[in-house]
Amino acid sequence: MELFNVLTVQQARDTLRSHLPARAKTEVVPLLQGLNRILAQDIVALEDVPNFDRSTMDGYALRARDTFGATESLPAYVDVSGEVLMGEEASGALTAGQAWLIPTGGMLPPGADAVVMVEYTEELDSQTIGVTRPVAPGENLVRRGEDVARGTVVLTAGHRLRPQELGLLAAVGVTQVPVMKPFKVGILSTGNELMAPDQPAEPGKVRDINSYTLYGQVLEAGGLPILYGIIEDHFETLQQTMAKALAENDLVLISGGSSVGARDITAKVIETMGSPGVLFHGMAIKPGKPTIGAVVEGKVVLGLPGHPVSAMVVFDLLARPMIASGGLYQNVGSFPLRAAITRNIHSATGRDDYLRVTLRRQEDGTIVADPVLGKSGLISTMVKAVGVAHIPLNKEGVEAGELVDVWLF
């Protein structure tokens, strides 16, 4: 594998996807545990929702034709011959010239095809009302199956379950949902210069940042992170730890050791773990060029740059889509917003640039993106930023005022 035979982001994703197993792991969970999970198979409605014609207003159920031509000065009079009780089936049918009192959500009695709101009626006596405004057939009611029709696919595999999806599944009587199993993600930080955050500062040493940022990113994406600690730049030690992480996880993230250098052994270790091994070493992006993408016996290994900003950006580009979709490797519910960049930014053609930015709304309502400048080793720049602006690889930069896609953290 030639180092830095770089791929674009899409090429890297496609390369990894082509080596993943055809089927992801699935499980069945109670409906209330399905929030933010990815549906593993299509859900078909076994009944209509609603399963009866129901009123959307408090009023009177009647035949719409009996109200045609009604006005305040010349109401249409109908006899009140019944009442619909909430949660009960209508006890009879109405005929021409009749109306039934009905609550919001009540079942429409046979013979009725509309509901007139109480506000547009007047009582003539205890048995008769005057309708002061005509209604059309179907007005102020929901027809049987209008929300969901029996036999239709209400949700497709790969759909993320939000609160509204839980409500829809409850409506069709689904109480157990088949979902993708959350990805187990092993996290390794490599480098002789690293030390744990609880250790006193030492010359030449830096505290491990990436274990913590990646742990948080995995959790946010819906995965299950497992930390394997700080690994020294030692071939056998890294090999042993990586073997353990591969056995226990679906995805392994290794930060540091991806650059070209005498002590950067990550790629060499990966090549000993199994086939097909390293698929690419280098991406046409900034930050994050020295990224390693590998697959070992059906499991993805990503060698992330040691700089915290680079590691976080590459995670969002390559790891997050995999984790968030349960292994389907697709973006789930992720969309950028458009903002006007506030200064000229140079970019090299043939490389995707991801620029840290803050956002603010101007008096005229325009959303603008202010670049947060700083080197990729400065974690504070990620704290100040709310997302990254994307400068596509076919551009040599952007000018102040130009619209850019901003991906929020």
**Separation of alpha carbons 409 and 407, rounded Å:** 7
pLDDT at 261: 61
pLDDT at 24: 76
Q: What is the mean pLDDT of each run of 10 residues along the chain (409 residues)?
A: 73 93 87 95 96 96 98 96 94 94 97 97 94 98 96 95 97 96 96 93 94 98 96 94 97 84 78 94 95 95 96 97 87 87 94 97 96 92 97 95 96
pLDDT at 262: 46
Q: Could you give the domains of the chain?
A: 9-25+181-324 (3.40.980.10), 36-49+147-180 (3.90.105.10), 54-142 (2.170.190.11), 337-408 (2.40.340.10)
pLDDT at 20: 86
